Amino acid sequence: MGEVMKMKHVDIYTDGACRGNPGRGGWGAILVFAGREKELCGGEPMTTNNRMELLGAIRALEALREPCDVTLTSDSKYLTDAINKGWLESWKAKGWRKADRSPVLNVELWQRIDELLGIHKVRFVWVHGHMGHEYNERCDVLATTFADSFEHM
């Protein structure tokens, strides 16, 4: 009685890319659980790099079928600093406005991330991009390949 079920731990790696900013964009994500990997990718024909960074994290977290303990690794300071430095909480408390009272950009994506953080326990880790980190490099290939797919449309 009263035994707490332990959440499954999932490692998530994400990256976003944009050909031009704004331009053709893509995101890539890899979920790693119990020795298995799942790759996800997507994008938009006209977007920004920051939107793709956020969408990669959102789509990866949305792919989880139950509340999980997550380590999410990204090369996006925009994403990781917003969480780790408390910007997201501050924006939310100020009605989705920044310290200078200007509106938060990509607010609907930040609101979705906030919702997902209410479901999953997520630790955000920043990794320097394009420095040989295996999963970051693979996510970059997923993101850029998807972005490039719009070239032929």
Q: Are the C-beta atoms of residues 41 and 27 closer than 8 Å to each other? A: yes
* Residues classed as catalytic: 15-16, 53, 75, 130, 140
Q: What sections of 63-133 are H helices per DSSP?
A: 77-84, 87-93, 107-117
Q: What are the tokens at 23? A: 């331009």
Angstrom distances, CA of residue 46 to CA of 5, 111, 117: 43, 21, 27
SS3 label, residue 19: strand
- Strands 121-126 and 36-47, how do they pair? unpaired
Nearest to 28 by CA among 139, 104, 108: 139
Kind plus residue range of the DSSP H or E element containing 12: strand 8-20
